[in-house]
Copies of this chain bind each other. A is one copy, B any other.
Amino acid sequence: MDSMKLDLSADVVTLTQQLVDIESVSHHEEAIADAVEVALGSLGHLTLTRRGHTIVARTDLGRPERVVIAGHLDTVPLNDNLPSRLEDGVLHGLGTCDMKGGDAVMLKLAADVAGNEPERDLTFVFYEAEEVDSVHNGLRKLTESDPDLLAADFAILMEPSNAVVEAGCQGTMRVDVRTTGERSHSARSWKGVNAIHLAGPVLARLNDYVAHKPTIDGLTYHEGLNATGIRGGVAGNVIPDECVIEVNFRFAPDRSEAEAEAFVRDFFEGYDVTVTDMAAGALPGLDRPAAKAFVEAVGGEVNPKFGWTDVAQFTKLGIPAVNFGPGDPMFAHKQDEHVPTAHLEHCERVLKDWLGGTA
């Protein structure tokens, strides 16, 4: 068959493999989006909308509840890890884990609902550009251009979560903390002020940091405040006049963006702090009936999500959302990225059962 064509009648492992073998590094999602659009269009029972290389496919069965299931189509750059390779129950290759396994499960569900009408209306979102600057993110763009298309009672983001529900997500914020000194020749260092030395007390504060670990809806989040980069220096014989510490604050979803910023500014009081990036977290929302029902349906196990994910996009729209997808997120963005076929099959079965109302 045409390598760019997707066979929705194939099993979920084969379909994952087909998706993986269509290269789709961020900003190069046209081919995969075309293939998804053609495959979904052939099913007949879905209403399709395309925005750039983002495809939205909706059922319209008049059910009292609607669920969004979302996954991104892009991958990080190639790292000599294509084409895919199936070995001993594990599928290897770029995108297997992050997150074409999840996309394949979504496609199987979309194909399935034709003959097996679900109890809930469904909105599938296959979107572009998740792995790059959020300005390009297809899901974020939809929240602004077409919020009605995303309207729902509950959302499932199929990011890898070891096939276990991970609820909410922590926010992430980046700041540059800058110290300023005065240059001089290092042979007469006492004529200058060493900006790198001035960074010592900043690092001392970071060493003294005690993480906030709030419990929300029974889940314990765990914040982190870390230098992820440091740079300073003019030349080997010059006392440096600037040092910049790049700090990443991962904050629990009980803080707003403004509260996170206030905390960081207070923490680094006396220093020049510039916010360079900010993304709010998402509350787990496990008190909402739709979320509670989903967690129960998939077996009751639920963990907090420490990393930031696009569930926060749904939170902005007031839609409770969880992460639930095949693959271990520790292998995302690694050369040896892979997904166990058992995860793919488990996610497909659990979701089908839940949607079919037989769980």
Contacts and interface: CB of A to CB of B under 8 A. Distances in A.
Interface stretch (A21-29, A43-51, A184-192): A184-192
A43 B277 CA distance: 70
Interface string A300-322: 00000011100000000000000
Nearest to A235: B228
Nearest to A232: B230
A234 to B, nearest CB: 8
A238 interface: yes
A292 interface: no
Given A203-B200, A211-B190, A250-B187, A237 B228 contact: yes
A7 to B, nearest CB: 35
Interface residues on A, range: 35 or more
Q: Chain A interface secondary structure, helix, strand, loop or mixed?
A: mixed
A356 interface: no
B307 A224 contact: no
A236 B245 CA distance: 11
Contact of A229 (B170, B228, B232, B306): B232
Given A186-B250, A228-B238, A237-B228, A200 B200 contact: yes
A224 B197 CA distance: 13
A226 B187 contact: no
6 contacts: A186-B228, A188-B224, A188-B307, A196-B229, A229-B233, A229-B236
State the 3 A-B residue pairs at the shortest beta-carbon distance, nearest first.
A229-B233, A200-B203, A189-B224
